[in-house]
C-alpha cells in the first residue's frame, strides 16, 4: 500500500487557518505578494482548477489568481503533522517505510486476504487519518511498490485504488512512458524517439538495445514496464547526506554576501548533522549562476563533526572555483559520506 496525503502543505495550513477553507490556496517559497523568486510547492484543488500547479513560479500563479490565499512554507510545522500521521499509520502495517513527509509504504500482505479486504482495510486507514488529524489521503494498493504507487496516482484525490496481480497488465497498457515511476522528461523523450512511447511498447522492447543506451537502467525500465518490482518495504532507512540551499533575492558577486550565506547554511546543516548524531567526510558546495547553470565542487576531508571545518572548506571551495564573470543566484552546502558519531569522543 502507498498512502499519500492530499495537497499536504496546504492541508496543514487549512488546519490552523480555517479561514482559508473553501478558497484557492497556495503554499510557496518566498511568495512576497507574487514578487518573490520562488515556486508553488503545493496548492489545493480549487487552485488547480485555475491552472495553478506545483513547481510553477509563484509570480505566474499570482498573475493567474491574485486573490488566492498565498502562504509561505513552514517545514517545521508540516513535519510535526507528518510525525503524527506516520505514528497513526505504522500500526496498520507489518513493515512500514516513510518515503517523504507525506507518503509511506505499508506492507499489509499478511493483514488482508484479498482485494475486497484490502479495499476495506484501506478505507479504514483513510477514515482514521481523517478523523484523527483532519487530513485526507489517497491510497494505492498493488502486488508491489511500483503498482501501489501508480495506483495511488490514479486514486487522487481522496480515493482508493486496488490493482490485483491479474489486473497489472491492463492497468499499465497504453499508458504514456512518462507516467512510469522513474521515467522523467529526459528519458521519456529519448524513449519516444526510439519508438517506445507507451508502457506496453516499452515492455516488449529489445533489452540489448535499451541497455546499450541506458545501461542497467534499461533493464530496470523493462522490468517496471512489465509491472515487475521486487523492492522490499525497508524499515530502517539511514540518511546519506544532509544539505541546505538558498536563492539570493538578487544575483550576487559580493564575497561578503556569499560568506554570510555560507555561514548561515553551514549553521543549519550542522544542526541537522548533530540531530542525526553523524560525522561527515565529504563537503560539497553548489553554485547556480544567473544563467541557471549549476556546478558542484566537493572535497573530502578527515572524518569530522566540526562546523569551522565545514565553513572554511566551503569558503575555500568557493574562492577556488567561482566563475568571476558570472553572478551567483543560488548557493548550497551539503555533507555526505556520513558516519555515526560515537558518543562524546572526538574523532581524530
Partner DNA sequence: TCTGGGGTCCTAGGACCC
Among 6, 103, 107, 305, binds DNA (CB under 7 A): 103
Least separation, in Å, of the C-beta of 169 and DNA? 20
Binding to DNA by CB under 7 A, coded x per residue (else -) over 268-307, reads: x---x--------xx---------x-xxxxxxx-------
- Dihedrals phi, psi of 228, to nearest 5 degrees: -95, 130
Asked if residue 146 lies in contact with residue 229, where contact means CB atoms within 8 angstroms, the answer is yes
Among 41, 89, 93, 266, binds DNA (CB under 7 A): 41
Q: How far is the CB of 75 from DNA (least distance, A)?
A: 7
The whole-angstrom distance between residue 183's C-alpha and the CA centroid of its chain comes to 15
All three cell numbers of 53: 500547479
| Region 203-242 residues binding DNA, contact defined as CB under 7 A | 215-217, 239-242
Q: Cell for 263? A: 555561514
Comparing CB distances to DNA, the nearer of 111 and 244 is 244
Q: Is 103 a catalytic residue?
A: yes
Closer Cβ to DNA, 119 or 298, answer by number? 298
- Rounded to a whole number of angstroms, the minimum distance from the CB of residue 120 to DNA is 25
Contact string 107-146 vs DNA (x = CB under 7 A):
----------------------------------------
Determine, following the binding rule CB under 7 A, whether residue 80 of this chain makes contact with DNA. no
Candidate list 136, 145, 278, 330; residue touching DNA; CB under 7 A:
330
Q: Measured between alpha carbons, how far is 191 from 198 in angstroms, rounded to an integer?
A: 9
- Residue 232 CB partners (closer than 8 Å, separation 6+): 95
Q: Quote the CA–CA distance of 265 and 279 in Å, as a whole number.
A: 17
For 144-157, letters b (16+ CB in 10 Å) and e give bbbbbbbbbeebbe
Active site residues: 103
Interface positions with DNA (CB under 7 A): 29-30, 37-39, 41, 54-57, 59-60, 63, 99-103, 149, 181-188, 215-217, 239-247, 268, 272, 281-282, 292, 294-300, 321, 329-330, 332, 334, 336-337
Amino acid at each position: 500500500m502507498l498512502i499519500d496525503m492530499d495537497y499536504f502543505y496546504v492541508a496543514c495550513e487549512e488546519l490552523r487557518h480555517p479561514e482559508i477553507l473553501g478558497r484557492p490556496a497556495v503554499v510557496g517559497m518566498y511568495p512576497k505578494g507574487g514578487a518573490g523568486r520562488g515556486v508553488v510547492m503545493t496548492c489545493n484543488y480549487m487552485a488547480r482548477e485555475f491552472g495553478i500547479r506545483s513547481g510553477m513560479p509563484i509570480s505566474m500563479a499570482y498573475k493567474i489568481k491574485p486573490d488566492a490565499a498565498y502562504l509561505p512554507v513552514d517545514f517545521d510545522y508540516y513535519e510535526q503533522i507528518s510525525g503524527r500521521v506516520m505514528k497513526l499509520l505504522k500500526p496498520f502495517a507489518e513493515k512500514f517505510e516513510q518515503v517523504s513527509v507525506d507518503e509511506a509504504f505499508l506492507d499489509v500482505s499478511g493483514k488482508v486476504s484479498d482485494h475486497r479486504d484490502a479495499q476495506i482495510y484501506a478505507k479504514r486507514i483513510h477514515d482514521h487519518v481523517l478523523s484523527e488529524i483532519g487530513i485526507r489521503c489517497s491510497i494505492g494498493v498493488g502486488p508491489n511498490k511500483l503498482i501501489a504507487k501508480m495506483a495511488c496516482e490514479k486514486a487522487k484525490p481522496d480515493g482508493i485504488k486496488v490493482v490485483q496481480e491479474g489486473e497489472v497488465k491492463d492497468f499499465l497498457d497504453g499508458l504514456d512512458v512518462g507516467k512510469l515511476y522513474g521515467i522523467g522528461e529526459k528519458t521519456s523523450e529519448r524513449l519516444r524517439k526510439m519508438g517506445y512511447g507507451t508502457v506496453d511498447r516499452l515492455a516488449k522492447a529489445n533489452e540489448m538495445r535499451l541497455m546499450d543506451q541506458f545501461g542497467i537502467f534499461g533493464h530496470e525500465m523493462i522490468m517496471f514496464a512489465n509491472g515487475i518490482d521486487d523492492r522490499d518495504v525497508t524499515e530502517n532507512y539511514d540518511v546519506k547526506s544532509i544539505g541546505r540551499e538558498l536563492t539570493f533575492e538578487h544575483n550576487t558577486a559580493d564575497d561578503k554576501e556569499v560568506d554570510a550565506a555560507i555561514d548561515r547554511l553551514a549553521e543549519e546543516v550542522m544542526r541537522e548533522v548533530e540531530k542525526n548524531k553523524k560525522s561527515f567526510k565529504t563537503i560539497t558546495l553548489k553554485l547556480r549562476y544567473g544563467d541557471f547553470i549549476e556546478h558542484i565542487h566537493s572535497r573530502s576531508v578527515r572524518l569530522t563533526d566540526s562546523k569551522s571545518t565545514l565553513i572554511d572548506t566551503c569558503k575555500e571551495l568557493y574562492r577556488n572555483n567561482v566563475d568571476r564573470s558570472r553572478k551567483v543566484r543560488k548557493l548550497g552546502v551539503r555533507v555526505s559520506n556520513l558516519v555515526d558519531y560515537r558518543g562524546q569522543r572526538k574523532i581524530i
